[in-house]
Structure 1
Amino acid sequence: MQIRDERDEDAAAISRITTAAFAKAPHSSGTEARIVGALRQAGALTISLVATSDDGRIVGHVAFSPVQIDRMPGRWYGLGPVSVTAEMQRQGIGGALIREGLARLAALNADGCVLLGDPADYRRFGFVSDPALTSGGKPSPYFQRLVLKDEPPKGDVSYHPAFGVE
């Protein structure tokens, strides 16, 4: 497996993988692929990585886009969505994509990263739930942050408008 930046010609494969990965997820809005497309169209995919198999086929994708925390200055990003083809899940591909994306955020001098997901899945990357950081004005144990530099933020996180696509 190799990890690389997404290319223009990868958009259709990323959409298929994302749609399939979230098709049966109980927490899915069914809009994950459209969110990635809208972020791409808006130029808001700060980091968009694909994992390819030995034959060059795209088998995974992860996106990182800017978030705003109560309109305060800072360089914070949201992780997601992350998708892996069904036949390649549970082989470490999603984890490798996330680790590479976080390393690239650190290289960009980012303050940190937030996500909405199961704490059991993201604890291994250093993410923690923090009731001082909310999404939609409400704390949630599923809303997590990873501080890359400075202090943990406090406030409500706003994602890019692409996350509101229907």
Structure 2
Amino acid sequence: MEIRSERTKDIAAVRAITKAAFAPMAYSSQTEAEIIDALRVAGALTISLVAVADDDVVGHVAFSAVTIDGEDKGWYALGPVSVRPDRQNGGIGGRLIREGLARLAKTGAKGCVLLGDPAYYKRFGFETHTALRLEGVPAEYFMAQAFEGPVPSGRVSHHEGFDAS
């Protein structure tokens, strides 16, 4: 399997995989594909990686900038991340996340946040930091990982593309 940067020809597959992966998730807003599209159109996808197996796109992960208390502090958000349902639980999502975090750190990013299951994301170095918060979500599901320096405090805001519907 190859992990590489998204190409224009991958966009339809990324959309289909994202919709299929999130369809059965009760917590999902079912707008994840639209969020990725909005970030892409706005030029706000800092990193967009696909997993390719046998010339088929089987997974995707996105990273985009966030602000903390309205300021750019060099922090980014991981997500959405999705794997084609018939390929889930085989390590593809983990490989996408690890590669994306490594690439993000190489850009000089200070850190990364995400909203997700702590039991899953702690294996990648994410932890809950009560001083860093995302309004409207339970604190235990909002996690961060610093690449450089301490984890800042404040209210995190995602790109407006996350409001896509």
Give TM-score scaled by structure 1 length: 0.97
The 2-side partners of 1:161 and 1:25 are apart by: 23
Say if 1:64 and 1:34 are closer, same or farther in 2 by CA, change over 3 A.
Answer: same
The corresponding residue for 1:126 is 125
User: How many residue pairs align between the two structures?
Assistant: 165
The 1-side partners of 2:143 and 2:100 are apart by: 16
- Listed as ranges, the gaps of 5+ residues in structure 1 are none
The corresponding residue for 2:25 is 25
Amino acid aligned to 1:132: A
The 2-side partners of 1:73 and 1:118 are apart by: 26
**Root-mean-square deviation (Å):** 1.0
The corresponding residue for 2:35 is 35
The corresponding residue for 2:115 is 116
- Which contiguous aligned blocks of 4+ residues in structure 1 show a shift greater than 2 angstroms? none
The 2-side partners of 1:34 and 1:71 are apart by: 24
C-alpha displacement of 1:136: 1.6
- Listed as ranges, the gaps of 5+ residues in structure 2 are none
The corresponding residue for 1:146 is 145
The corresponding residue for 2:164 is 165
Amino acid aligned to 2:77: G
1:80 aligns with 2:79: yes
Give TM-score scaled by structure 2 length: 0.97
Say if 1:58 and 1:147 are closer, same or farther in 2 by CA, change over 3 A.
Answer: same
